[in-house]
Amino acid sequence: MAKKVETGTNMIDHFAEFKEQKNIDKTTMISVLEESFRNVIEKMFKTDKNFDVIMNPDKGDCEIYQNLEVVADDAVENPVTEIGITAAREIDPECEIGEEVTKRIYFEKFGRRAILNLRQTLQSKILDLQKDAIYSKFKELEGEVISGEVHQIWKKEMLLIDEDQNELIMPKEEQIPGDFFHKGDVVRAVVKRVDNPNNNPKVIVSRTDERFLRRLFEQEVPEVHDGLITIKAVARIPGKRAKIAVESYDDRIDPVGACVGIKGSRIHGIVRELRNENIDVLNYTSNPSLFIQRALSPAKISSIRINEEAKKAEVFLHPDEVSLAIGKEGLNIRLATMITGYTIDVYRDIQEGEEDIYLDEFRDEIDDWVIEALKDLGLGTAKAVLNAPDSILAQADLEDETLDHVMKVLREEFED
């Protein structure tokens, strides 16, 4: 075998800026360079199988060798894999026909086009590496809080840049109502998901995702961070109100008190971050009846009927408690339904001697979907609907004609 001729040509130096700019580790860079050289060799010679590409990281250079079978001078059919005996002995004077010699290839002698091709190939591979690294990094960060600086604000989304100059997208629907940012503001959000269309990672961050609230409690409440208190369930209507159920496995720790802090010291910071979103902290229990009662707080329940199979609950309250159970804009009952996983129907507790009728009795005169819309607001009886303020009825989103029909049917029942 021929001796490998040394050269002072340093091919890696031509592409060193990629390593510096992209912060690629040494091992990966060498692998990318070798693969790039092989791709260009294959384009030039239609194969790279009989070529050796040797990267010398210590010297900072690259050596390329072509392995050729020695044949008679007039028997060379493929000069990419074969070499005549005369030319072969110029490399190795002692070689014989049938043996193999190794010829040094000086890549730079192939001209500017080959160098340009190599550079473009290298650029493409490094870009792919970058994309893979970004996707892997943020895929692992899904559900975690990160910070980014507002770089650009558009109508439907906002562009943030993190400390490593990665781009983060926050769609309008992932922003809390009341969020108002300027360019240069530092914003905290949770990594909601990482899309990867056509190997072009897109990091979506959110301030409305319920995991954002979970992570804020982990950051603000040491007992949650240390696992002494567990967050069992979260329900949010971003920017308005939230409920969070917590549990402690240590009887000495009051989970609600620990999360709220002395005079609300711990929860105030979370509320401010969430644009004054009111947060109810509940003691979790596996008893569905008790959990629903706690979820409907501050309303006090008279009685409750649970259908475990259908995940439904019928809750009966004193008339004065109904509005508390429903809450402003229906938020309380909506959140109670979300955090317990039960469909909750609220009914006025009909006292002995009191004349009232459950809405279900009117299904022959009022469409089912209309009755369900009213029950979703906690209006389960005729008088509950008749006595409900217009602001509550408006949330059922019924047309005026439909609502007028409902009110007429209910009034006629009592007039009779």
Q: What is the pLDDT of residues 188-230, one digit of tens each?
A: 999 999 998 888 899 999 999 999 999 999 999 999 999 999 9
Question: Do residue 298 and residue 416 come from a single domain?
Answer: yes
Short-list 389, 358, 393, 356, CA closest to 374 = 393
The domain that holds 46 is classified in CATH as 3.30.1480
Structural domain including 62 reads 12-135
* Helix, strand, coil content of the chain in percent (nearest 5): 45, 25, 30
Of 183, 208, 233, the residue at which a domain comes to its end is 208
Of 208, 230, 264, the residue at which a domain comes to its end is 208
SS3 413: helix
Share the mean pLDDT of the chain: 86
Question: Do residue 191 and residue 266 come from a single domain?
Answer: no
Q: Greatest CA separation found in the chain?
A: 121
CA distances (Å), 221 to each of 67, 275, 289, in order? 67, 19, 28
The domain that holds 268 is classified in CATH as 3.30.300.20
What H or E segment, with its residue span, contains residue 82?
A: strand 82-84
Q: With pLDDT > 90 as the criterion, what percentage of the chain qualifies?
A: 53
Question: Do residue 72 and residue 126 come from a single domain?
Answer: yes
**Would you place residue 56 in the very low, low, confident or very high pLDDT band (cuts 50, 70, 90)?**
confident
Judge whether 138 and 201 are in contact, CB under 8 Å: yes
Question: Do residue 298 and residue 411 come from a single domain?
Answer: yes
The span from the CA of 323 to the CA of 334, in Å, is: 13
Question: Do residue 69 and residue 147 come from a single domain?
Answer: no
Kindly state whether residue 7 falls inside one of the protein's structural domains. Answer: no
Kindly state whether residue 2 falls inside one of the protein's structural domains. Answer: no
Kindly state whether residue 6 falls inside one of the protein's structural domains. Answer: no
The span from the CA of 81 to the CA of 233, in Å, is: 68
* pLDDT at res. 9: 42
Question: Do residue 276 and residue 235 come from a single domain?
Answer: yes
**pLDDT at residue 385 above 80?**
yes
Kindly state whether residue 369 falls inside one of the protein's structural domains. Answer: yes
Q: Please list the residues that pair with 186 across neighbouring strands.
A: 149
- Mean pLDDT, rounded, for 149-164: 94
The span from the CA of 57 to the CA of 53, in Å, is: 13
| Residue carrying the six token digits 């026909």 | 97
How many CB atoms are closer than 10 A to CB 27?
Answer: 9
| Residue carrying the six token digits 């040509």 | 9
Short-list 285, 269, 266, CA closest to 277 = 269
**pLDDT at residue 248 above 90?**
yes
Judge whether 25 and 118 are in contact, CB under 8 Å: no
CA distances (Å), 10 to each of 3, 193, 259, in order? 19, 43, 62
**Would you place residue 302 in the very low, low, confident or very high pLDDT band (cuts 50, 70, 90)?**
confident
**pLDDT at residue 151 above 90?**
yes
Strand order in the sheet with 241-248: 229-237, 241-248, 278-283
Pairing of strands 51-56, 61-71: antiparallel
Q: Which two tokens stand for residue 373?
A: 């819309």
* pLDDT at res. 23: 55
Number of independent structural domains in the chain = 4
Question: Do residue 290 and residue 409 come from a single domain?
Answer: yes
In degrees and rounded to multiples of 5, residue 296 shows phi and psi of -90, 0
Question: Do residue 271 and residue 292 come from a single domain?
Answer: no
- Mean pLDDT, rounded, for 258-286: 93
The span from the CA of 92 to the CA of 87, in Å, is: 9
Question: Do residue 119 and residue 35 come from a single domain?
Answer: yes
Question: Do residue 276 and residue 290 come from a single domain?
Answer: no
The span from the CA of 102 to the CA of 100, in Å, is: 7
Kindly state whether residue 3 falls inside one of the protein's structural domains. Answer: no
The domain that holds 195 is classified in CATH as 2.40.50.140
| Each residue's pLDDT tens digit, 85-129 | 999 999 999 999 999 999 998 877 777 787 787 778 778 888 888
* pLDDT at res. 59: 65
- Mean pLDDT, rounded, for 251-268: 92
| Residue carrying the six token digits 């160098």 | 115
The span from the CA of 66 to the CA of 102, in Å, is: 6
Q: Please list the residues that pair with 101 across neighbouring strands.
A: 68
- Mean pLDDT, rounded, for 385-402: 85
End-to-end CA distance of the chain: 113
- Mean pLDDT, rounded, for 173-180: 93
**pLDDT at residue 4 above 70?**
no
Q: How many CA atoms lie within 13 A of 206 on its CB side?
A: 21
Kindly state whether residue 213 falls inside one of the protein's structural domains. Answer: no
SS3 49: coil
How many CB atoms are closer than 10 A to CB 169?
Answer: 17
Q: Please list the residues that pair with 231 across neighbouring strands.
A: 246
Of 95, 116, 135, the residue at which a domain comes to its end is 135
Q: Please list the residues that pair with 88 across neighbouring strands.
A: none
Kindly state whether residue 118 falls inside one of the protein's structural domains. Answer: yes
CA distances (Å), 104 to each of 57, 67, 112, 191, 391, in order? 19, 9, 19, 51, 86
What H or E segment, with its residue span, contains residue 279?
A: strand 278-283
Pairing of strands 167-171, 202-206: parallel
- What's the chain's length in residues? 416
Question: Do residue 176 and residue 229 come from a single domain?
Answer: no
Burial class (CB within 10 angstroms; exposed 0-12, middle 13-18, buried 19+) of 332: buried
Kindly state whether residue 214 falls inside one of the protein's structural domains. Answer: no
Question: Do residue 181 and residue 228 come from a single domain?
Answer: no
